[in-house]
Amino acid sequence: MKIHPTAIVDKKAKLADDVEVGPYSFIGPNVDIASGTVVGAHAVIEGHTTIGKGNRIFTGAVIGSVTQDLKYKGEKSYVRIGDDNIIREYVTINLGTAKDSSTVIGNKVLLMAYSHVAHDCIIKDGAIIANCGTFAGYVTIEEKAVIGGLTGIHQFVRIGRLAIIGGCSKVVQDVAPYSNCDGHPLKVYGLNTVGLERAGIPQESRTYLKKAFKILFNSGLTISHALDEIKSEVPKSPEVNYLIEFVSASKRGISR
């Protein structure tokens, strides 16, 4: 292990042999860090926190700190972080609130500087969170979604896969997968065509999604009537099916 002499690593912490820890960092007793992870200077990793392989954690990041939820009464809760993530300067990631709950970061996630991930959030594989992206509790960010800088997301909101949200947006309702959004409050401006193409979604599926988006966001129909029309008028594909499933399951309503 390459642990700087000024770093404090609790004897009970579990670190793989090749983990690096920079100057003045602190690693608590209930932390488990897997192979290839590099922790920069002045970082704090505490709580019941598990960090996978190949992560890069930059200066001043604070991971596993006690939730800011006033309902928290000291129960044992967790932060669980996967592999190959980039956690930039001064990112904060809090423990879950309830007993045995977890805040979860998947694999290959980029959290840019000053991002805040509150209690019980789930950020899935490949998501990108730009500087100062701020998530209240129980937010879910699905695969390869992109959140612009200075964006605030209300608690319990779900951001669909491959959605892209412009900077300084205010998000108080769920965001449909594959959408291109911006605003305060948030508005959907169409399909995230660039993201879909980069993700290798077939042209046929993109065409079907475009038709579904016109019905959902431009027809003036209610959500339930729009879904009925999509089911009857738009050819099926995995992406269209998932759009229908996501919108149907929304509890906070869909940003339109």
Catalytic amino acids?
A: 119-120, 137
Which helix (H) or strand (E) segment holds residue 78: the answer is strand 78-81
Phi/psi-derived region of residue 36, left when phi > 0, alpha when psi is between -120 and 50, beta in every other case? left
| Tokens 């290959």, located at residue | 108
Helix (H, G, I), strand (E, B) or coil at 164: strand
The b/e string for 24-57 (b: 16+ C-beta within 10 A; e otherwise) is bbbbbebbebbebbbbbbbbbbbbbbbbbbbbbb
Taking the chain, what is the end-to-end CA distance rounded to the nearest angstrom? 51
DSSP structure class, residue 66: P
